[in-house]
Amino acid sequence: MSLRVAATVESAWHRVPGGVANATHHSLRAVATDPDIELVGVHAWHRTAPVEGLAPVIPTSAIPLPRPVLYECWHRSRRPGVRRWTGPVDVVHATSAVIPPPSGAELVATVHDLAFLDRPDHSTTRGVRLARRGFELARDEATLVVVPSAATRAECVAAGIDAERIRLVPWGCRPTPVTDTDRARVRNRYSLPTSFILWVGTLEPRKNLDGLLAAHRAVPGVPLVVVGPAGWGDVDLPVSDRVVQLGFVPDADLAPLYDLATVFALPSHAEGFGMPVLEAMAQGAAVVTSTGTATEEVIGDTGVTVIPGDVEALADALVSLLDDEPKRTRLGAAARERAGAFTWERTGLLLADVYREAVA
């Protein structure tokens, strides 16, 4: 069956792209290899180019409205439809929390997480409003709803979406070979110590960086390296030789950072999937993450999980791994093997099947 699909690609222009933008980029690139599916991207009008490395690899059409106006129109009046700019399509895929009108096509909506329902204080007021309205539209109008994890699927069912309409499409990852030259270059560029704990993400409250900082105070001698752009919320990093903030780093440096880290920690309060955990696994890192979130699902039995609010347990987990090199090596090898099952090719195949099912 030959299909034409319009997919929103607006996240490629977000100031802080995050996991949603990366997942959208790689997922659509994988689907684009299917000879029976024609993709066209839809986005708002912009003066600037998309974020470096996230430019859509599919043809795109710009609706001549700035992002805030387009979002309000889509969520309030359910106009304008996309087909005026894309031509006829069989499926409209909302890849983020903003849901365009289906415009006579089948609507597929991706729900990445429902953190905005349980902890609205972990996001901006505008972000919560957009996400709530987007979830309502996905629940009421989507033919099928795509989720990246079983944890998000359970949340969606609890929030009123029929389980029969939900399709699990996990994200993927592509391991990056790291050479001794790469390691030396990155270690020298950022003046990294021999041993360090690594955290990667956007600085925002739900990532629980404050909890990690509190736990880190009980970890003697080993600094914490924080990687990622500023997001929103009250996240204060202490200025000291024990906490090193690198900010945004290019993709070419990220894989060596995971490789060099003694332990990788992401004790988030909530995640829809947790891309940094999978990226760390793919590079063979020993991982500490959160019980009861999607990252526990991703890591399986190849890492250590703790309740995110338990600072003492988090500190104990970090110290235990730092003091046990054989365990770190064993977990890192198991994590690398498990990460190999999460490929973008698999993501693309599953997403293509969702499009076909929605039309059928």
Confidence of residue 205 (pLDDT cuts 50, 70, 90): confident
Same topology for domains 3-172+343-359 and 180-339, yes or no? Answer: yes
pLDDT tens-digit readout, 308-354 = 889 999 999 999 999 999 999 999 999 999 999 999 999 999 999 99
DSSP characters over 159-209 = TT--GGGEEE-----------HHHHHHHHHHTT--SS-EEEES-B-GGG-H
Tokens linked to 94: 């909302």
pLDDT of residue 78: 96
When pLDDT is averaged across residues 158-185 and rounded to a whole number, the result is 96
Q: Choose which CATH entry (3.40.50.2000, 3.40.250.10, 3.40.630.10, 3.40.50.300) describes domain 180-339.
A: 3.40.50.2000
**H helices then E strands: how many in the chain?**
14, 13
pLDDT of 188 > 70? The answer is yes
* Domain locations along the chain: 3-172+343-359, 180-339
Question: Considering the chain, what percentage of its residues have pLDDT values greater than 70?
Answer: 98
pLDDT tens-digit readout, 1-27 = 699 999 999 999 988 778 899 999 999
The whole-model pTM stands at 0.94
Report the SS3 class of residue 43.
Answer: strand
pLDDT of residue 124: 79
When pLDDT is averaged across residues 57-78 and rounded to a whole number, the result is 96
When pLDDT is averaged across residues 247-255 and rounded to a whole number, the result is 92
Residue type present at position 352:
A
We find that the CATH architecture of domain 3-172+343-359 is 3-Layer(aba) Sandwich (3.40)
